[in-house]
Structure formats: C-alpha cells, structure tokens
Structure 1
Amino acid sequence: MGAMRLTQVTTADLDRLEFHAVRSGEHGRIAAQLLDLANRVDAGSEVTRAELFVRAGEQWEIAQEFERACAAYQRAMDDGGPTVVDAHALSAGALLQLDERGLAYEHLKRLESGGQPGLQTHIHVAEVLYAHDDLEGAERWATSGARWFSNRNLSAYARDLFDELLRIRFRIRTDLGLAEDDLDLLLDF
C-alpha cells in the first residue's frame, strides 16, 4: 500500500467546499470530503485537522446525520487541535438533537471545567440550549460569556461577536421575563 499524500488546506478551500454544499445541498458528500481531508492534512496546513473534523460534523448536522456529526466531533476532541467553536459544544448540540440530554450536558460540564471558551462557543451553546428550551442554561452561558468578554480589548470582528452574544442574551432574558441589567445596557440596538 502506498503512502498517503499529505495535503495543505486553506480557509479559501473550506469556503469553496461549504459554498458548494449550500448551493448543491450535498452536505453529506461534502462532510465525507472534509473527513478525507482531515485524514490527509499536513501538520503545517492553514486549517487544522481538528477544524476539518468540526466542519465535517457541521455538514453532517445540516444533513441531519447527527450520529455521524457526533463521531466527527469526537475525532476533533481526540485530535485536540484548535477549532473556531469547541467540539464539546458542537457535540452537545448534536446529542441534544438525538435526545441524549445527559451526554450533552456532560460535554458542557467538561467545557466549563476547561479554559475559558471563546465567544463563538458561548454563542453556539446559548443558541443550542435556547433552541432546546433550556432558557436558564442558555442565559447562564450567555451571561458568563458576556461578563468575561465585556472587560476585554476586542478586535472589530470580536466586538461584532460580542454584540451578537449580547443580543442573544437579551432575547433569552426577555423570554425569561428578567429585567434589564448592566450588560443589556451595553447593547447598541
């Protein structure tokens, strides 16, 4: 058997694949391509192996193949490389789709006990919990992220993400009937 050829993957490559998936609806096929790339990617690639596993999982989720999504997210966790959204958060969302609440919340506990998750991870968890009617959990995640990042010097891009988190938090708090607080006052409607 011949040696497997290593591959360089750029964010532009990912954008092209994901755009094709949206345009064609071939999310399962693109997920399989992303998994293949993850298995062949060079260590010096712009896009990490873990990120490719995560992106494959996201495509499986869009295709409503939640078991396959969980498997891809697990590969990302096992790899341990950096990802834009933490694979534990993504896995929790897929597990909730499978009605595996206990396992989903175990992933969220692991995520909370690690280092501070990024803004996109806080946004994802708040949205997933909100979509699965855990408004208290969604509000807790949105608030912890908003408190952590409110005192940070953020780039313009991160500031946009922070504002998105604040809007999600405001919507959740409104649904819970909670009064405005100091974080709500940071919102620039």
Structure 2
Amino acid sequence: MGAMRVTHVTTAELDRLEFDAVRSGEHGRVAAQLQDLANRAEAASEITRAELFVRAGEQWEIAQEYERACASYQRAIDDGGHTVIDPRALCAGALLQMDEIGRAHTHLGRLEKDAPDGLPTYLHIAEVLYAHGDLEGAEWWATCGARNHPEDGSDLFEELLRIRFRIRSDLDLDEDDLDRSI
C-alpha cells in the first residue's frame, strides 16, 4: 500500500518542525521528515512542495549533510514551485561547502542569466560568496540585488546594503551612491 498523500501543509506546522530541530539538535531527523512531507505532498495551500524540499535542504545543511542538502535543493529546482530563496542559490552554497566550486558557479551562472526574483536570493548569494572569500562575486551580487530591487521598505534591502558596504570596505572600494544611502 502506498504512502498517505498530504494535501495541506501549514506554515505553523513547518515552524513547529523547525523549532523542534533547534530544540533537539536533530536537524537530520527533521530534514528527513520535511523531505518525506515534500515527497507525499499533492498540493500545499500555504507551502509549495518546492519550499518543503528547500526547508529540508536547509536542515540537511545545518546537519552538515551537504550532499543530501544538494539533492533536496535539486528536487526543489526540478519541482519548479515557488520558493522564498531560489533553490539554485541554496544548492550553490551547499556545493561551495563541499568545495565543488565549478558546480556551484554553474548554478550561479544560470541564476545570473535568469535574474532571480526577490532580495532574499541576492542576499543569500552575497552572504555565501562573502563567507567563502569571493569578495568580488559577493559585491557583484549585492550590487545587482540593490539595483534590480530598489528600496522597497523592507529590512532585507537594508541588510543587503549593509553587507554590500562591508564587502566594498573589505575590497577598499570608494563609496558610491548605494553606500551613501545607508
């Protein structure tokens, strides 16, 4: 007999699972639960199947299971549903953790060509590249995010400008109009 299909997953349920992972430290167990939910999901009114795969991948990353994280992100990419952060950006970050630099840059190249929607993806890429010492790449992504998604009143825009300023300071670049807008 097949596994029971899930027709509705709420943000509250996901928050509970993720809180359980933080409380218990069992991120791998929670990642497996999230992945199981994603595999069984038919339709989710609040959360897409792709977002479930992304959240599973994030938990796998916290558990330092980067190959499993990449597999979850790939499932999100293949699914094509809406996610807060583009799963290609998340996959690139996990690949960098495994020193799979070429594969990571393949994902980033595809993202560059497609111009991702929303500040969360740009911010994530800038932070990941900064953490891995690619200051020029981090600055490029932060600048693109700030220029392509002008101030929308969100804290994310301010956060993107702050990391961009920090990166540009580390690169010893002159202050520009975006730096002065902070």
> Which band: TM-score by shorter chain?
over 0.9
Distance (whole Å) between structure 2 residues aligned to residue 103 and residue 74 of structure 1: 12
Residue identity (%): 73
Determine the structure 1 residue equivalent to 2:17.
17
Gaps of 5+ in 1: none
C-alpha displacement of 1:6? 2.3
Alignment match, 1:62: 62
Counterpart residue number, 2:35: 35
The question of whether the paired residues in 2 share the 8 Å contact of 1:92 and 1:108 is answered with yes
What is the SS of the residue equivalent to 1:183? helix
- C-alpha distance in 2, partners of 1:54/1:44? 14
| Separation in 2, partners of 1:140, 1:97 | 20
Shift of 1:44: 4.1
Aligned residue-pair number: 182
Query: Aligned residue for 1:166?
Result: 161
Are the counterparts in 2 of residues 21 and 27 from structure 1 also a CA contact under 8 Å? yes
Q: Match of 2:149, SS?
A: helix
Matched, 1:133 2:128: no
Q: Distance in 1 between matches of 2:117 and 2:123?
A: 10
2:142 paired residue number: 142
The two structures, once aligned, show a CA RMSD in angstroms of 1.2
Q: 1:179 aligns with which of 144, 155, 174?
A: 174
* Offset from partner CA, 1:118-141 (integer Å, 9 cap, x none): 100001000000011000000000
The residue identity in structure 2 corresponding to 1:171 is R
Question: Once superposed, which parts of structure 1, at least 4 consecutive aligned residues long, lie more than 3 Å away?
Answer: none
1:55 counterpart SS class = helix
Give the match for residue 117 of structure 2.
117
Query: Which position in structure 1 is the counterpart of 2:93?
Result: 93
Could you tell me how far apart the structure 2 residues matched to 1:77 and 1:40 are? 17
In the alignment, is the contact (CA less than 8 A) between 2:3 and 2:40 conserved in 1? no
Amino acid corresponding to residue 26 of structure 1 in structure 2: E
Unaligned runs of 5+ residues in structure 2 are none
TM-score under structure 2 normalisation? Answer: 0.96
CA contact 1:31–1:59 (8 Å) conserved in 2: yes
Q: Secondary structure at the match of 1:58?
A: helix
Following TM superposition, by how much is the alpha carbon of 1:3 offset from its aligned partner in structure 2, in angstroms? 6.0
Contact 1:130 1:172 in 2 (8 A): yes
TM superposition score normalised by structure 1: 0.93
